[in-house]
Amino acid sequence: MRVLVLHSDVAPDAPPDEQDTLVAADAVADALASRGHRASLSPFVFDLETLRSVIAEYRPDVVFNMVEAIFRHCELAAIVPTLLEKLNVPYTGCPSAPMAMAGDKPLAKKFLRLAGLPTPDWDEVPYNNTAHDVRYVVKSATEDASLGLDGGAVVTGRDAVLQRAGSSHRKHGGRWFVEAYIEGREFNISVLEENGEPRVLPIPEMVFHNWDANRPRIVGYDAKWSEASPEYNQTIRQFRSEAEEPALYRKLTELSTVAWRLFRLKGFARVDFRVSEAGEPFILEINPNPCLEPGSGFAAAAEAAGMDYAEAIERILAAALATR
């Protein structure tokens, strides 16, 4: 089968989170080739006629969509499935509408709340509902990869929120919102489509090993991308036996499945949770088309489920062909 791995157009001097897209695209192409497919790679250019020419050149049976950002903005990536549909080309992963809805984090939280699913309280500009005695995490409303997320992003009260959100906007641009900080544990749950249904893969917990008691326990930018940082080396993905906490794991599985269906996700996704000290889970974010780099959480969860990397990639490909 001819497969075109379409990825973000990443500049040579791009930061590590963007360079990771190229690493993942190369790994996916190699995995597909190892399974007997004819895999090609191409950067996405935001122009319909250019995309039409690329499709005509490679004549793919399916596009493996790995476009995570356009002009370095994640929210624009939702246009790619629409363009591929206009060209009548099957593609992996989510359609545009779920990508756009989940990619706007405050909007996604409203959708979760309306559906009765647990998510931490939040507020947006002008932060009139932000309390003076509550700890908040200041987050980008539309960007992924933990942009601007570090220990200083956790603040208490409206005055500190205004200061941090303002400085984040000046530095990075875009919209920023605040979310109540949940003291507790963090879980990143991968979901894979099989036979048209969501399959929750083995559930890992992000363990903050030897963490400074004065630092908020969050998986920030350095924990994901700065290999020399303490955050990177002390944030450890750990799979435990679900038999140790069966009720919690059942609840996380149930909520991930409901969220998948609520947002009408396709192919593969990740649902991020915080679990409070009282054991109550809260959905932080829905991530359509999450990172597929071999060291990613999705690849680790697939391996824990008994799939090697190439098999997991081919299953994503199979889901695209089965439903379109």
Give the architecture-level CATH label for domain 122-180: 2-Layer Sandwich (3.30)
The angle that helices 246-263 and 96-103 make with each other, rounded to 10 degrees, is 120
Residues 6+ apart with CB under 8 A from 36: none
What is 2-91's CATH topology?
Rossmann fold (3.40.50)
pLDDT number for residue 80: 97
pLDDT at 148: 87
pLDDT along the chain (324 residues), means of 10: 96 87 96 98 94 97 96 93 96 96 97 98 95 95 87 94 96 96 97 97 95 88 86 92 94 98 98 97 97 96 98 97 73
- Beta-sheet pairing, 184-194 with 204-208: antiparallel
Largest Cα–Cα separation, the chain: 59
pLDDT of residue 105: 97
Nearest to 260 by CA among 72, 117, 147, 56: 117
> Regarding beta strands 2-7 and 62-66, do their DSSP bridges make them parallel or antiparallel, or are they unpaired?
parallel
Report DSSP state, residue 78.
Answer: G
Instruction: Answer whether 101-118+183-323 and 122-180 agree in fold.
Output: no
Residue 49 CA to residue 35 CA, distance in Å, equals 31
- Residues with Cβ within 8 Å of residue 202, at least 6 apart in sequence: 239, 242, 301, 304, 305
> How is residue 173 annotated by DSSP?
-
The per-residue pLDDT for 323 is 62
Domain 101-118+183-323 in this protein, CATH class: alpha beta
Residue boundaries of the structural domains of the chain? 2-91, 101-118+183-323, 122-180
Contact (Cβ atoms closer than 8 angstroms) between residue 155 and residue 161:
yes
> Computed over its alpha carbons, how large is the radius of gyration of the chain?
19
Closest CA to 165 of 106, 208, 114: 106
**Quick one: pLDDT at residue 214?**
83
For residue 228, the tally of other CB atoms under 10 A from its CB is: 7
Alpha carbons 267 and 226: distance in angstroms, whole number: 29
Sign of CA dihedral 64, 67, 68, 74: negative
Please report, as a single letter, which amino acid is at residue 41.
L
pLDDT at 213: 83
How much is the pTM?
0.95
Dihedral pair phi/psi, residue 276, rounded to 5° = -65, 165
The predicted pLDDT at position 220 comes to: 87
